[in-house]
Amino acid sequence: MKPSSILPEAKAAGLFGRFPREGLVSLLVLAAVWETLAQLSPTLGIPPFAVPSFVRIGRSLLTVTPIDVAITLLRVLGALLVSFVLGMTLAMVMYLSETLERHARPVIRLLMAVPIISWILFAILWFRGVEFRVAFVLVIVCAPVFLVDALDSMRDVSRDWRDMLRSFRPTRVQFFTKLMLPATLPSILTSWKIVMSLAIRVVTIAELVGAVTGIGHQLNVAQQLFSVADVFAWTLVLVASLFLLEYVLTLAEARLLKWRPA
Amino acid sequence: MNRAAPVEVAGLGKRYRQTTSGQEVVAIDRLDFRIESGEIVAIVGQTGCGKSTFLDILIGLEAPSSGSLSVGGFTPYGDFDRFRGRIATVFQQDRLLPWRSSLDNVRLPLELAGMPEKEQRERSLGWLERLGLGKFTGAYPHELSGGMRQRVAIARAFALEPAILLADEAFGHLDEVTAAELRETFVKLARECGSTSVLITHQLEEAIAVGDRILVFGKPATVLADVSVAQWPREDYAGLREAIQATLQANAPDPRLKR
C-alpha cells in the first residue's frame, strides 16, 4: 500500500500560503490607495517624504544591503536554535520532575510577562557585546515559548501510548526519542512558526536600539534620515524574509508529518 | 527465544485513594494463584472488578499495595528493567504509533531491546508475513482496517518472542468474525512460542475458546473460581458458561465449578 504522500495543505501552500483571491484584491486596493495618496500628497498638504510612491520605494529596495539581511537572519536562526535546544532540554527535565516543574513554572510565567523592551534595556545595561545583547534578548523571549509549548504537548501525549511503550521497558532516552519527540512533533513545528515570527519582530527592535548592523539598524538609520521609502523597503524585506522562512518550515512540516491522514 | 516463566501471585492487594473524594478504594482484595510456564490462562470478571489493575501490576506499571507478584522469581515493578525484551502486551486498542509504518511498529520493541538492526527487520517482516500482512509493511496505521491494525499489534507483541505474553480485552472491539479469527491465531502463535500467556476478557466464549484455565475474578478482585477448561467435558461448554455466569452474578463460586 502506498503511504500517504505530502499533506494537501502543504501541497496547496506556496510561498504565501493558501492565498485567497479576496486577500489579493484587498492588497491591491490598499496599494492603489497608497499610490493615490503618494501622487496626491502635495495637493492634500501631506509632506512628500511621508507617503512615498512605489517607484521611490522600488529605488530604496535597490539600495538594500544583502549583508544586513543575512546578519539579521543569522541572528534569528542562531538564537532560535539555541532557544529550541534550551527549551526542549528544560521541558524534558521538567517532564521527568514534577517538583521541578512546580518550582519553575511561576519563574517561566514571570519571564514571559516581562515586556520585550525591558529585556532590551536590561541587555544594554548588563552586557557590552552587541551580538551577545541581541542573542540574550532573543533567547530570553523565545526559549520560554518553546519550553512551555513542548512541556504542555508532552503532558498531552496519550497515556495509552505511554503505558504501551513503558510495558516494553524503554530507557529514558528511548522514551523521549521513540515516543515523546515524534508524538509532539506537530506542536513543536507549530511552536517554530509562532516563535519565528516573534523572533523576527524581536530582533528588529533589539537591532534598532543596540546594533550597528542588521535590518533593525538600517531601519534606525532610515528613521534618522526621515526616509519613509527606506523604512518601507526594509520592512518589505523583513516581511519577505519571514514568509521565506515560514515556507521552508512548511516544506519541512510536509516531509516530517507525511504520516498524517489527509 | 526467552524461556517461558511461571507467574506466582500471593496475597496480592491493591488499594488506592480517589483523587476527587479522597476515599480509599479496594481494587484488588486478595489474589492467590499460580500460572505454570507456557500455560494460557484467561481471566474473566465483571467490569470494574480489578482485572485491568491486576494486568497493570503484572506488566509492572503499578506496584501492589500488599502481597507479591513474581514472574520467574522477579517482580515486574521492582525488577522493571530485568523484563526488557521478556514481556509483551496486546492492548484493547491497538496503540500503534501513527507516525510509524506497520513494519516500524512491529520493530519498536526490538529497537527498545537493543536488537541489531538487520535482525529487527528480518524478524519483524517474518511476523508480519505470518499474520498475513506481508503486503502492508509500509502502510501507516490509518491506512489499515481495525482487524489489520490489531494484527500488527499482535505481531509487535510476538516479535519479541516474550517469556510472558499478556492480552487485555484484545479482541473485544472487533467484529465477531475477525475476533474469532484473531483469537485462533493468537492461541496458535502463543503455543508455538511457548510463552506463558494471560488473557483478560469479559467475554466468556472467548475465555473458553482461548484458555487452558479460567480464573473467575469477583468484585473487588479475588479468585472466585479456578477452572481447568481441558478437564471440563467439551460437550458441556454451555454448562461451563452458565456456571461462570452464575458465579459472576452472585459474586460467589457456583457449586458446579467446584467439581
pLDDT of residue B259 exceeding 80? no
pLDDT of residue A34 exceeding 50? yes
B91 chain-A contacts, CB cut-off 8 A: 160, 163-164
Please tell me the predicted confidence (pLDDT) of residue A18: 62
Q: Smallest Cβ distance to A3: which of B89, B91, B139?
A: B139
Confidence band for A209, pLDDT divided at 50, 70 and 90: confident
Q: Give mean pLDDT, residues B235-256.
A: 89
Please tell me the predicted confidence (pLDDT) of residue B243: 92
Q: What is the least distance, in Å, from the CA of A2 to any CA of chain B?
A: 7
pLDDT of residue B120 exceeding 80? yes
Selected for mutation to probe chain B from A161, A167, A255, A260 (highest B CB count within 10 Å) is A167
Please tell me the predicted confidence (pLDDT) of residue B23: 87
Q: Which residues of A166-205 are buried (b: 16+ CB within 10 A; e: fewer)?
A: bbbbbeeebbbebbbebbbbeebeebbeebbebbbebbbb
Q: What fold is seen in the domain B7-86+163-258?
A: Rossmann fold (3.40.50)
A164 chain-B contacts, CB cut-off 8 A: 89, 91, 95
Name the residue ranges covered by the structural domains of chain B.
7-86+163-258, 96-161
Residues 6+ apart with CB under 8 A from B224: B216, B217, B218, B247, B248, B251, B252, B253
Please tell me the predicted confidence (pLDDT) of residue A44: 85
pLDDT of residue B112 exceeding 80? yes
Could you tell me if residue B215 is left (phi over 0), alpha (psi between -120 and 50 degrees) or otherwise beta? beta
Please tell me the predicted confidence (pLDDT) of residue B18: 82
Cell, residue B107: 520493530
pLDDT of residue B1 exceeding 70? no
The pLDDT tens digits for A156-187 are 999 999 999 999 999 999 999 999 999 999 99
In chain B, the percentage of residues whose pLDDT exceeds 90 is 64
**Model ipTM over 0.95:** no
Please tell me the predicted confidence (pLDDT) of residue B4: 72
Confidence band for A4, pLDDT divided at 50, 70 and 90: very low
Please tell me the predicted confidence (pLDDT) of residue A153: 96
- Domains of chain A, first to last: 58-256 (1.10.3720.10)
Please tell me the predicted confidence (pLDDT) of residue A217: 92
pLDDT of residue B22 exceeding 90? no
Please tell me the predicted confidence (pLDDT) of residue A80: 96
Q: Over chain A, what is the mean pLDDT?
A: 89
Q: What is the least distance, in Å, from the CA of B21 to any CA of chain A?
A: 23
Asked if A78 has any chain B CB less than 8 Å from its own CB, the reply is no
Please tell me the predicted confidence (pLDDT) of residue B254: 86
Q: Give mean pLDDT, residues B205-222.
A: 91
The pLDDT tens digits for A77-118 are 999 999 999 999 999 999 999 999 999 999 999 999 999 999
Q: Smallest Cβ distance to A169: which of B83, B136, B140?
A: B83
Strand order in the sheet with B24-35: B66-71, B7-17, B24-35, B221-228, B213-217, B40-45, B196-201, B164-168, B87-90
Peptide bond into B220 cis (omega under 30): yes
Cell, residue A189: 513545528
Q: Smallest Cβ distance to A4: which of B97, B136, B140?
A: B140
The answer to whether the beta carbons of residues A203 and A76 sit under 8 Å apart is yes
Q: Over chain B, what is the mean pLDDT?
A: 91
Selected for mutation to probe chain B from A161, A165, A168, A178 (highest B CB count within 10 Å) is A168
Q: Which of A19-23, B80-84, B204-208, B244-248 has the lowest mean pLDDT?
A: A19-23
Distance CA A4, CA B117 (A): 25
Higher pLDDT, A136 or B173: A136
In chain B, the percentage of residues whose pLDDT exceeds 70 is 98
Distance CA A170, CA A163 (A): 11
Confidence band for B2, pLDDT divided at 50, 70 and 90: low
How many CB atoms are closer than 10 A to CB A231? 20
CB contact under 8 A, A1 and B98: no
The answer to whether the beta carbons of residues A143 and A198 sit under 8 Å apart is no
Q: Give mean pLDDT, residues B197-224.
A: 91
